Chain A
């Protein structure tokens, strides 16, 4: 069935190992050397699968911005929240005086 869904398949844009590392860094996910090759294969399998979209004529078509037509609701400018710093930091791995603590950031 798989092959049948690939009608309109066009030449694949594929990622190399360097791209895998770059994407992993952009996504802030540590990737060990041994993970690069399998990830590369998996990503390329997905990219090959989506390549068939290249066969669709999309000229003059608006990209979808909202799936159901509606007007965006808006809030009134009133203060309805806050005053719950304890709740805000309750689940944090490290806090002090209701601050979140992180490894030192160098500007």
Chain B
């Protein structure tokens, strides 16, 4: 028998509507699963009382026939979204004990639609990382293991807590954010679905900023449909975010069953990097075959500036981050470490409050913006961004509806395995996802199979600006063909 937390979000929604079980039952099943899974370190903060309160309200709404779109559905919230009266840390010591007196636009939208909060999910510190190992509160352990191995694996990052919690049935879905791949890469590592919508689709208001021109919120869930349902609630115009689009939110769930007949899917030759594992190449070819079989046309395309996206990203993102993180100075909130004067107080606070990776990125960002280097680094990187965006525009102008690529260059790796002195080794994880952020486009990662070691692998679909609907339709075709990833047996409880 399926326990309630193993339902998909859509199944749970329909079960609540049919009064097969109550929102309180659903919340309790999840609370129990969360408590039993502490070994994964997915939740930084559990909020069971709040979950039960919200579930009780949901039950009364359902009883009154006033159910809202997400009524009674328990979710996890990445700890980058500020939650009113609930500690928000961004995975950093510098925000330990920070209690916002405001609610992020995205989480607010979810509660408005009746969702239930289970707690705050672990992440890489300030969303800077690809393995969730940079969290000041410890790494998240993936629920997945290599066949016959007990080596703890990373869930990917920075939304590693979100991906692990969704994969391990510790919530029906989770909020996540993606600056260079932080939704899609962990989704791919954990056999879950994650979509980074078009830049401007979700409001950034109340979400702790990493790199303002790249950050976007999106959901991670177990199915394409679940992601569509969640994004429909999370997205929407917000007058408090100047970069948030004033566009109506389409019916994403309806788009899921549109099919791919008549669509043209581009296969960019530049993503065929030498040294890519054969398994991934095979999976990619398989994905194209599936879509062709479902009625799509496959077309080879060229995105010539692809290889420059990652290095350009490592200029733009740290530059913006170095400025965005200047506010953590020990004056108005968060950690303060005293010093003999104000400058020393700042330096001590930030040295103790930020972890190694965050400091490294602040330093790089400070350097590339500094006098004499700004044009050579920052301005050049932003010009290259223009070129990257043009590549995509040219492809779309030729009639391509979506682009299919691998989501990651490898399957999940072991915790500590990439802790080498060279930070670039870790950065290469985002090589396929980062172009999408640089161009502000929507991208979805969908599970497509397992590798020889039994670990999930994902494919990525990249869409036109504000055309998430085509991504949902196409991702559903892959999900239909690949079948839902069979989740690992519970070893952690």
Contact = CB atoms under 8 A, between A and B. Distances in A.
Check whether chain A touches chain B (CB < 8 angstroms). yes
Interface of A: 1-2, 4-5, 7-8, 13, 15, 19-20, 23-31, 38-39, 41-43, 45-47, 49-54, 56, 58, 61-68, 70, 72-73, 75, 84, 87-94, 100, 102-106
A73 B439 contact: no
Contact of B424 (A4, A46, A58): A46
B427 A53 contact: no
B98 A42 contact: no
Given A56-B384, A67-B199, A92-B333, 15 more contacts: A1-B428, A19-B367, A24-B347, A26-B366, A27-B322, A28-B343, A28-B347, A49-B427, A50-B315, A50-B381, A61-B383, A67-B440, A68-B198, A103-B340, A103-B341
Contact of A49 (B101, B311, B338): B311
Contacts of B150: none
26 contacts: A1-B273, A1-B409, A4-B273, A8-B307, A19-B367, A27-B350, A28-B346, A28-B350, A38-B421, A42-B360, A43-B363, A45-B422, A45-B423, A46-B360, A47-B367, A50-B315, A53-B380, A53-B381, A56-B383, A63-B386, A64-B389, A68-B200, A70-B243, A84-B101, A89-B332, A93-B330
Contacts, number: 194
Contacts of A90: 99, 101
A67 B199 CA distance: 7
B387 interface: yes
A80 to B, nearest CB: 10
B342 interface: yes
B465 interface: yes
A105 B340 CA distance: 11
Contacts of A53: 308, 311-312, 315, 380-381, 384
Nearest to A1: B275
Contacts of B239: 73, 75
B274 A7 contact: no
Contacts of A23: 363, 366-367, 370
A82 to B, nearest CB: 14
B483 interface: no
Residue in B331, B363, B364, B381 with the greatest tally of chain A CB atoms within 10 Å: B363
Contacts of B335: 93
Interface string B264-281: 000000000111100000
Nearest to A75: B239
Contact of B342 (A26, A29, A92, A105): A105
Contacts of B198: 68
Given A30-B351, A63-B379, A45 B424 contact: yes
Contact of A100 (B332, B363, B440): B332
Contacts of B342: 102-105
Contacts of B376: 13
A54 B373 CA distance: 13
A61 B424 contact: no
A30 to B, nearest CB: 4
Contacts of B338: 103
Contacts of A49: 311, 314, 424, 427
Contacts of A62: 383, 386
Contacts of B438: 67
Q: Across chains A and B, which 4 residue pairs bring their CB atoms closest together, nearest first?
A: A67-B440, A63-B382, A91-B333, A30-B351
B171 to A, nearest CB: 27
Q: Which of A52, A63, A89 has most chain B Cβ within 10 Å? A: A63
Given A42-B423, A46-B364, A91-B334, A52 B246 contact: no
A59 to B, nearest CB: 9
Given A15-B367, A27-B362, A61 B386 contact: yes
Interface in B250-301: 273-276
A68 B315 contact: no
A42 B421 contact: yes
B382 A64 contact: yes
Contact of B332 (A5, A66, A92): A92
Contacts of B409: 1
B389 A67 contact: yes
